[in-house]
Amino acid sequence: SFTVTAKVKFAQLSEHDIHAYVKTGEPMDKAGSYGIQGIGGQMIECMEGDFFAVVGLPIHRLSLELARALK
């Protein structure tokens, strides 16, 4: 097993911004209630770490771990 972490910093959001985003429907099927790869990416000020870990599958790390397991 392994873990991958990422830090995501949201911009300062007004209540109007949040309601407008919810109204798009995008956050309704997201584990963290936002889609960094979609409209929600506009709310992100910066991030540190693996973008794919935020999206849902850290493919680089996964490929390394699978290669290690198959040796």
Return the number of other C-beta atoms located less than 10 Å from residue 29's C-beta: 8
pTM of the model: 0.77
Residue 4: is it exposed, middle or buried by C-beta count within 10 angstroms (0-12/13-18/19+)? middle
pLDDT tens string 11-50: 999 999 999 999 999 999 988 899 999 999 999 999 999 9
